[in-house]
Amino acid sequence: MTASKQTEVKIHDKLYINGEWVAPAGAGSLDVINSTTEEVMGRVPEGTAEDVDRAVQAARAAFESWASTSPTERAALIKKISESLAARKAEIATVIANEVGMPLPLATAVQAGMPAMVMGSFAKLLGEYSFEEQIGTSLVVKEPIGVVGCITPWNFPLHQVVAKAAPALAAGCTVVLKPSEVAPLTAFILAEIVHDAGLPAGVFNLVTGLGPVVGEALASHPGVDMISFTGSTRAGRRVSELAAQTVKRVALELGGKSASIILDDADFPKAVRSGVNNCYFNSGQTCSAHTRMLVPRGRYDEAVQIAKEAAESFTVGDPRDGKAKLGPLVSEVQRDRVRGYIKKGIEEGATLVTGGAEAPEGLDRGYFVKPTVFANVRNDMTIAREEIFGPVLSIIAYEDEDDAVRIANDTIYGLAGGVWSQNIDHAKRVAKRIRAGQVDINNGSFNPMAPFGGYKQSGNGRELGRYGLEEYLETKSLQL
């Protein structure tokens, strides 16, 4: 590694509680590792349950005043935060490219650009949303639910924070944030921006730490009215269990094993290549990735060949250069987990078309995994059942349309999916049969104002747009 690529170690030794940067209760700290160099790039406090309690008390004290502000006042502050996020886009992108491994041009557009856009969308929404509705002799009002605990993942570290904090703040709630300890650095940038924007003390609070300590303290705290969690289904079950003790509202965005159905009349080269791109986005570290590609048996070999060529066109390398299409995975643990799944696929009889569990050539340092394609996959194989969270695609043959829908729905998950057909109406009919929260038709683009969330064990509740705002509101009837 050249000296010019070395990353300065960013030390954060304070938490943001009640409008101030304060010393944590404990002395522990957590290292943040650069996924390309495997070197320490940052350090954050290892928060404790005592820190969570301080943050919750601050959020409780600030709630009544913040809840009583007008939507116009809240919108002005949220717009200011959005503008500051946009102004620091290059800095945010660099941090996330180092933490998570997304190539810098993509990190700039997605990891940094999307949070600024989503934050701004809630400022705009506040100007249009009605918090009151007359129904007969009743006035129905929407009110903020209270103190919200946000527990967020590492794969889209700032976007997932904003997707929770922005609607919560827009609704009039106060927030205690626990970001992933694997990629927490942009949460500190957000806290700095919030502070400079002039958000009242206690409205936004940041406590870093480990899930079993800080996350569990937040989920079980009686002073928290709602938990919004994004992460693994296993962790989501634990959050639900703890939150149930105080019957707080829980919104969960969990795992996925999404299927893309390529119908016989689709543009096959385009559909297969797009499917590979979708699966490998963010090195496969995307909960809504289409990791199962379902193709008609009569065109199976054609699809496998196109997927092989597409996968082998993915250059793997340093995400900071802006040249590689695929960066590393986020951590050693994640890399080893994905390699384990690749080995499991081979053991269970799937055909390794390209890729594999070995390190990519010339990349012994960094958490890199080869872009991998499996053929002759059955839907009962481990690689077709479990969320891998890496650049691993399983291609599954189906007999007819009903069989394709059956296979797509034969999963505990229901987060996303895709349908490809030259007949849009046909594609819509098939998409409506897929039990998932969002289905892309012919690679339909992501819409930040449309609801995002899952069916089944992919979670409950929705994020983004009006549906995301309403997650953080209680409904009250005034009988007149």
The rounded distance, in Å, linking the Cα atoms of 152 and 18 is 20
Instruction: Determine the pLDDT at residue 222.
Output: 98
Mean pLDDT taken over the chain: 97
Top pLDDT among 322 and 200 is at 200
Kindly tell me if the per-residue pLDDT of 424 is higher than 90. Answer: yes
pLDDT band at residue 6 under the 50/70/90 scheme: low
253 included as an active-site residue: yes
Which residues is 463 bridged to in the sheet? 452
On whether both 246 and 341 belong to a single domain, the answer is no
Which residues is 460 bridged to in the sheet? 252
Say if CB 316 and CB 326 are below 8 A apart: yes
H or E element, residue 259: strand 258-262
251's tokens:
């919104």
On whether both 237 and 291 belong to a single domain, the answer is no
Indicate the residue type of 356. G
On whether both 413 and 465 belong to a single domain, the answer is no
**Which whole-number Å values give the CA distances from 351 to 289, 311, 345, 348, 450, in the listed order?**
21, 15, 8, 9, 38
Give me the mean pLDDT over the 260-283 stretch.
Answer: 98
Give me the mean pLDDT over the 287-312 stretch.
Answer: 98
On whether both 396 and 325 belong to a single domain, the answer is yes
Give me the mean pLDDT over the 247-266 stretch.
Answer: 98
Lowest-pLDDT range of 52-56, 280-284, 361-365: 361-365
Instruction: Determine the pLDDT at residue 5.
Output: 54
On whether both 212 and 295 belong to a single domain, the answer is no
447's tokens:
């819409």
Give me the mean pLDDT over the 399-424 stretch.
Answer: 98
On whether both 194 and 336 belong to a single domain, the answer is no
Number of domains in the chain: 2
On whether both 176 and 302 belong to a single domain, the answer is no
8 included as an active-site residue: no
Catalytic residue among 150, 216, 287, 463: 287
Q: What is the pLDDT of residues 7-58, one digit of tens each?
A: 689 999 999 999 999 999 999 999 999 999 999 999 999 999 999 999 999 9
| Residue (of 187, 144, 162, 145) closest to 10 by Cα position | 187
The rounded distance, in Å, linking the Cα atoms of 162 and 120 is 10
Residue whose pair of structure tokens reads 């929260």 in the numeric block: 437
Kindly tell me if the per-residue pLDDT of 217 is higher than 50. Answer: yes
Instruction: Determine the pLDDT at residue 1.
Output: 34
H-assigned helices in 145-266: 157-171, 185-197, 216-220, 233-243
On whether both 445 and 462 belong to a single domain, the answer is no
| Residue (of 467, 478, 474, 466) closest to 126 by Cα position | 466
Quote the domain boundaries for residue 38: 3-254+457-479
Give me the mean pLDDT over the 359-372 stretch.
Answer: 96
Give me the mean pLDDT over the 87-95 stretch.
Answer: 98
Residue whose pair of structure tokens reads 């390398």 in the numeric block: 317
On whether both 223 and 282 belong to a single domain, the answer is no
The rounded distance, in Å, linking the Cα atoms of 365 and 305 is 30
The rounded distance, in Å, linking the Cα atoms of 132 and 475 is 10
On whether both 213 and 296 belong to a single domain, the answer is no
DSSP labels, 37-94: T-SEEEEEE---HHHHHHHHHHHHHHHHHHHTS-HHHHHHHHHHHHHHHHHTHHHHHH
202's tokens:
């206690």
On whether both 475 and 370 belong to a single domain, the answer is no
On whether both 48 and 94 belong to a single domain, the answer is yes
Instruction: Determine the pLDDT at residue 66.
Output: 98
Instruction: Determine the pLDDT at residue 462.
Output: 98
The rounded distance, in Å, linking the Cα atoms of 269 and 280 is 17
Instruction: Determine the pLDDT at residue 432.
Output: 98
| Residue (of 440, 104, 434, 420) closest to 269 by Cα position | 420
pLDDT band at residue 271 under the 50/70/90 scheme: very high
Q: Check which CATH number belongs to the domain holding 18 and give it.
A: 3.40.605.10
Kindly report the pTM of this predicted structure: 0.96
Kindly tell me if the per-residue pLDDT of 277 is higher than 90. Answer: yes
The rounded distance, in Å, linking the Cα atoms of 34 and 97 is 9
Tell how strand 473-479 and strand 138-144 pair up. antiparallel
Give me the mean pLDDT over the 289-306 stretch.
Answer: 98
Q: Check which CATH number belongs to the domain holding 444 and give it.
A: 3.40.309.10
